[in-house]
A and B are shown apart, each in its own frame.
Chain A
Amino acid sequence: MPVFKDLFRSKSRYATVKPSQGDGDQPRPQPARPKEVPDGLWVKCPGCQNILYQRELARNLQVCARCGHHFHVGAVERLSQLLDSLDTFEEWDTDLRTVNPLGFPGYEEKLARMQAQTGLSEAVVTGEGKLDKYPVAVGVLDFSFFSGSMGSVVGEKLTRLFERALERRIPVVVVSGGGGGARMQEGILSLMQMAKTSQAVERFGASRQPYISVLTNPTMGGVYASFASLGDYILAEPGALIGFAGPRIVERTIRQSLPSGFQTSEFALKNGMVDMIVERKDLRPTLARILRLHRA
Chain B
Amino acid sequence: MVNGVFEWERPLIELENRIKELQAFTKEKGIDFSEELATLERKADRLRAEIFSNLTPWQRVQLARHPRRPTTLDYINMICTDFVELSGDRCVRDDEAMVGGLALLDGMPVTIIGPQKGRDTKENIRRNFGLPHPEGYRKALRLMQQAEKFGRPIVSLIDVVGAYPGIEAEQRGQGVAIAENIRRMSFLRVPIVCVITGEGGSGGALAIGVGDRVLMMENAWYSVISPEMCAEILWKDTGRAPDAAAVLKIGAQDLLELGVIDEVIPEPLGGAHRDREQAAQRLKEAVVRHLRELLPLSGDELIHRRLEKYRRMGRLAQETEERLQAVSESPRD
Contact = CB atoms under 8 A, between A and B. Distances in A.
- Real complex partners, A and B? yes
Interface of A: 25-26, 28, 95-99, 101-102, 104-105, 151-153, 155-156, 159, 182-184, 186-196, 198-199, 201-203, 221-222, 224-230, 243-246, 249-250, 253-254, 258-259, 262-263, 267, 271-273
Contact of B223 (A95, A187, A224, A272): A187
Given A192-B314, A196-B314, A225 B178 contact: yes
Contacts of B164: 253
A229 B137 CA distance: 15
B183 A198 contact: yes
Q: Which of B203, B248, B250, B316 has the most CB of A within 10 A?
A: B316
Interface string B307-330: 100110111111110001010110
A224 B207 CA distance: 13
B113 interface: no
Nearest to B165: A245
Contacts of A193: 313-314
Contact of B318 (A96, A184, A189, A196): A96
Contacts, number: 191
A249 B165 contact: yes
Interface residues of B, number: 56
A222 B317 CA distance: 23
A93 B175 CA distance: 28
B249 interface: yes
Given A96-B319, A191-B223, A244-B174, 12 more contacts: A26-B230, A99-B326, A104-B247, A184-B224, A186-B315, A188-B254, A191-B224, A192-B314, A193-B314, A198-B186, A229-B179, A267-B170
A202 B176 contact: no
Interface in B248-262: 248-250, 254-255, 258, 260
Contacts of B317: 96-99
Given A244-B163, A273-B176, A202 B316 contact: no
B171 interface: yes
Q: Which of B206, B248, B307: most chain A Cβ within 10 A?
A: B206
A194 B206 contact: yes
Chain B CB within 10 Å, residue with most, of A95, A196, A249, A254? A196
Interface string B166-178: 1101111111101
A189 B170 contact: no
A25 B165 CA distance: 13
A112 to B, nearest CB: 14
B250 to A, nearest CB: 7
Contact of A25 (B182, B183, B233, B311): B233
Contacts of B183: 198-199, 201-202, 230
Given A187-B250, A224-B175, A225-B178, A195 B316 contact: no
Interface of B: 163-167, 169-176, 178-180, 182-183, 186-187, 202-203, 206-207, 210, 222-225, 229-230, 233-234, 247-250, 254-255, 258, 260, 307, 310-311, 313-320, 324, 326, 328-329
B96 to A, nearest CB: 18
Contacts of A190: 224
Contact of A96 (B186, B207, B316): B316
26 contacts: A28-B233, A95-B320, A99-B317, A99-B328, A101-B258, A101-B315, A156-B316, A159-B311, A182-B224, A187-B224, A187-B258, A188-B260, A189-B258, A194-B206, A195-B182, A196-B313, A198-B183, A199-B183, A199-B307, A221-B203, A222-B224, A224-B179, A225-B207, A230-B183, A267-B170, A267-B171
Given A102-B248, A199-B186, A192 B310 contact: yes
A271 B233 CA distance: 30
Contacts of A245: 163, 165-166, 169-170, 174
B303 to A, nearest CB: 10
Among B170, B186, B206: residue with most chain A CB under 10 A: B170
A97 B249 contact: no
Nearest to A192: B313
